[in-house]
Structure 1
Amino acid sequence: MTIHPVILFDQESWTLIDTGMPGSAPAILELARQAGTGELPLRSIVLTHQDIDHIGGLPGILAATGGSAPVLAHPGDEDAINGTQPMLKMTPERLAGFLEQVPADVREQFERTFLNPQRPNVDRTLADGETLPYGGGLTVIHTPGHTPGHVSLYHSPSKTLIAGDAMIAKNGELSGPNPTVTPNMEQALESLKKFAAFDIDRVICYHGGLVQGGVNESIARVARQS
């Protein structure tokens, strides 16, 4: 599975959006360095939602960067990310089977963070419509359906929509979220209508990557499926 976390950085710090699967931290940090972050400090971590392929790398990222970067997420997924309620799509049996396949140190790190947490993982919650001071302005768009607290993010300076799992891309074409892992598909498609308020040149889907050209029209087409 290829995934597409996103970083934003300037001359002083960088921000990470989503953290990959358990064990993803070394690869993400190395790619961030290659992109130009160098030795800049990690300013914050924004989680688009609670799914394991988005939050699983969080313990490794925090451990490798000193643990001082605040973690931001929507209240709708806060309890699952904090480990005080189960992940929506991950039964205990499925999670146990998955963790058996990862290295012991990664498994222990994950269990300490999400199964037996000593502290909340979310330092601050996100509000629909707020603008975060990262990369010149990052607007939070609450797009529930894939999970209750799913958010997408609009980077105004570059007119880029960071869609999370609100949409997926395949061969440069946008479609709605994966129905097999979207509990409320009707709500998820309805959420896409919020994107009409933004002038979007590019979309980054966590699954599928970058899509450019005619994206406003493509998003409107997908949203009409609701």
Structure 2
Amino acid sequence: MHGCHQLSIEVKTYGESQVITPVLLHDGDECILVDCGYPDSIPQLKQAMAQIGYPLERITRIIATHHDIDHIGSLGALKRLLPDAVIIAHEIEVPYLEGTLKSQRQEQAESTLPVLPREAVPAAEQFIALLASIEKVAVDHKVRHGDVLPWCGDPEVIHTPGHMSGHISLYLPASKTMIAGDAVVIEDGELHIANPQYTLDLEEAIASVRRLMSYEIDHLICYHGGSFQGNVQDALRALVKRYSTTKRTHKEAE
């Protein structure tokens, strides 16, 4: 018997509240946490897990969908608390999580400094320093597209780059559940590309949405927005059409 639970966690960033949605997968022996929030999110994680009857200490594996700060900010602290927990990530993500390469988000932020208005530079530099301060963690288990993890309902790894190059989503075949990470987000009840202005490769991000469309999905869980309400295939199709139309309009304007 296996289960899938959303852990809705309210956090404050830059003075504003937002809700993020890590996911807990479990069976008789394993308890897998998918993403773990911003730095200092462990108390909220612990409380959210307790509400569904699972102590934090039950976690046996942690999957990082990608290395953005809101997904792996507490990963180092969790690993210190749970030294036997196995850290899982796509092979492309490994050097960023382990610190042998600079964060892609940090490089992106640094590249904007020369073109920012002078008054915006201090906030950007503060953000860059925050990204640089994220604790680095060794990855124990590298995965690729199509890998099936033999625990908690046999989730299939889906490489969904664009938002970041090593981003992954997870598909649970028995319940037809897609854990999308940041491949898509929910805003005002609609699916969107996550922060398109900060997406590293928008073309890849749209191609990743098309990849999700090849799966039969009854339940879609987004890290930002939680469970999607409605026909998932229709919503994904509308998202691709919307961005394709925008792209075509921009080309015609040129």
| Greater gyration radius | 2
Structure 2 residue 177 is matched with structure 1 residue 145: no
Q: Quick one: which of 213, 224, 243 aligns to 1:207?
A: 224
Structure 2 residue 64 is matched with structure 1 residue 32: no
Match of 2:61 in 1: 44
Match of 1:163 in 2: 180
The residue type paired with residue 85 of structure 1 is L
- 1:95 is displaced (CA, Å) by 4.7
Match of 2:201 in 1: 184
Change (3 A) 1:99 1:50: closer
Match of 1:117 in 2: none
Change (3 A) 1:165 1:61: same
- 1:181 is displaced (CA, Å) by 1.9
The residue type paired with residue 20 of structure 1 is G
The residue type paired with residue 151 of structure 2 is Y
The residue type paired with residue 38 of structure 2 is M
- 1:11 is displaced (CA, Å) by 3.1
Percent of aligned pairs sharing the same letter: 37
Residues 131, 138 of structure 1: 8 Å contact kept: yes
Measure, in 2, the Cα distance between the counterparts of 1:74 and 1:166: 14
Which of 14-23 and 131-140 deviates more? 131-140
Match of 2:119 in 1: none
TM normalised by structure 1 equals: 0.85
Q: Quick one: which of 97, 108, 130 aligns to 1:98?
A: 130
Question: Residue 86 of structure 1 aligns to a residue in which SS?
Answer: coil
- 1:98 is displaced (CA, Å) by 3.1
Residues 88, 147 of structure 1: 8 Å contact kept: yes
Question: Residue 179 of structure 1 aligns to a residue in which SS?
Answer: coil
Measure, in 1, the Cα distance between the counterparts of 2:53 and 2:26: 8
Q: Quick one: which of 70, 73, 76 aligns to 2:89?
A: 73
Match of 1:54 in 2: 71
Deviations 1:1-51 (A, max 9, x none): 321111111233310000111111121122112212247631211100011
Which of 130-139 and 32-41 deviates more? 32-41
Match of 2:141 in 1: 124
The residue type paired with residue 148 of structure 1 is S
Quick one: higher RCO (CA 8 Å, sep 6+), 1 or 2? 1
Question: Residue 158 of structure 2 aligns to a residue in which SS?
Answer: strand
Deviations 1:116-150 (A, max 9, x none): xxxx6111111101111232120111011111100
Residues 13, 40 of structure 1: 8 Å contact kept: no
Structure 2 residue 121 is matched with structure 1 residue 89: no
Question: Residue 125 of structure 1 aligns to a residue in which SS?
Answer: strand
- 1:97 is displaced (CA, Å) by 4.3
- 1:171 is displaced (CA, Å) by 2.8
Residues 159, 201 of structure 1: 8 Å contact kept: yes
Match of 1:13 in 2: 30
Measure, in 1, the Cα distance between the counterparts of 2:25 and 2:216: 19
The residue type paired with residue 164 of structure 2 is T
Change (3 A) 1:99 1:192: closer
TM normalised by structure 2 equals: 0.76
The residue type paired with residue 70 of structure 1 is V
Measure, in 2, the Cα distance between the counterparts of 1:63 and 1:139: 27
